[in-house]
Amino acid sequence: MTVQQRGSCRWGIVLVAVMLLGMAHTLWAEPREKGWAIPVQVPYEAPPKVQDLQAAESVPQNTKPLTAEELQRAEALLPLLEGKQEFWAMGEFVHLGEPSVPVLVKGLSMPGPRIRFNVIETISMLKAASAVPALVVAAKEPNEIPRVREHALRVAVRLDAAKAVDAIEVMAKDQNSTIRKAAAFESRYVREKRVVPILIGMVGDEERFVALSAVQSLWILTRHETEFHDWETSTKQDRQEWTVEWMEWWNGQKDSFEMPDPKRSGRAR
């Protein structure tokens, strides 16, 4: 190897060393300078098993008024509806039965949307129709998050549809289109004449998906055969014109109209 070659080799080694030092500085210095977090493995904790909750549901519900001790126990269970023991707490409320509803509905005003959601889910498991007025209030609450409001309406409709009409009427005019969509969709399960004009008013909604849900609910409830309209590509002006068609039909039918027997709806027209 010539002197020139040996010199080139030495410079190559020096260059590689400098590069390696630069990489090392980047790998070790940047996390400290930029505050990067070093990932660590945390223990995995499996979620509660579904069968545990199902087992709780299978326990016969209490139907007797709660004792003072049971009332105190129910109050203590409310905060547990959020966290690792939430499924167990829900099962305990199911075991206490519908007499625990006055305590349970207090959770609808507690901080933490998960507690409020789980309160509604527990009411559903209890099939507690006595809680419907509280659910209607929760569904109408404009400061509540949409997920909780939607769930409150859904459960209220399943437990006592007639009492849910007030919530549908308020939600149909909400600024949030997701809330209006929920009102339009859940209306199809409410066999009350009062929902028909509410739904007709939603046919002209500025959001197409809200209007389409409303007209589908109208078809399901009334079986009224309308003219063919292209709802998928419709404009707000189109839908407002179709609202007039529905209103003219309803004005001629509302005095004698009776809800037809429920059946599966056909395809959207």
Q: Which sequence spans correspond to the domains of the chain?
A: 49-127
Instruction: Give pLDDT, residue 46.
Output: 47
Average pLDDT over residues 226-237: 74
For the residues 29-44, what does the mean pLDDT come to?
43
Q: In the chain, what percentage of residues exceed pLDDT 70?
A: 74
**The three-state (H, E, C) secondary structure of the chain, written as one string:** CCHHHHHHHHHHHHHHHHHHHHHHHHHHHHHHHHCCCCCCCCCCCCCCCHHHHHHHHHCCCCCCCCCHHHHHHHHHHHHHHCCCCHHHHHHHHHHHCHHHHHHHHHHHHCCCHHHHHHHHHHHHHHCCHHHHHHHHHHHHCCCCCHHHHHHHHHHHHHHHHHHHHHHHHHHCCCCCHHHHHHHHHHHHHCCCCCHHHHHHHHCCCCCHHHHHHHHHHHHHHHCCCCCCCCCCCCCHHHHHHHHHHHHHHHHHHCCCCCCCCCCCCCCCC
pLDDT digit string, tens, across residues 171-229: 999 999 999 999 999 999 999 999 999 999 999 999 999 999 999 999 999 988 776 67
The per-residue pLDDT of the chain, averaged, comes to 81
pTM: 0.74
Q: Residue 136: pLDDT above 50?
A: yes
Query: What are the tens digits of pLDDT across the range 144-161?
Result: 999 999 999 999 999 999
Q: What pLDDT, on the 0 to 100 scale, is given for residue 261?
A: 76
- Given a cut of 50, whether residue 98 has pLDDT beyond it is yes
Q: Is residue 56 predicted with pLDDT exceeding 90?
A: no
Query: Which is more confidently placed, 12 or 150?
Result: 150
pLDDT of residue 214: 94
Rounded to an integer, the average pLDDT of 222-244 is: 79
Q: Is the pLDDT of residue 27 over 80?
A: no
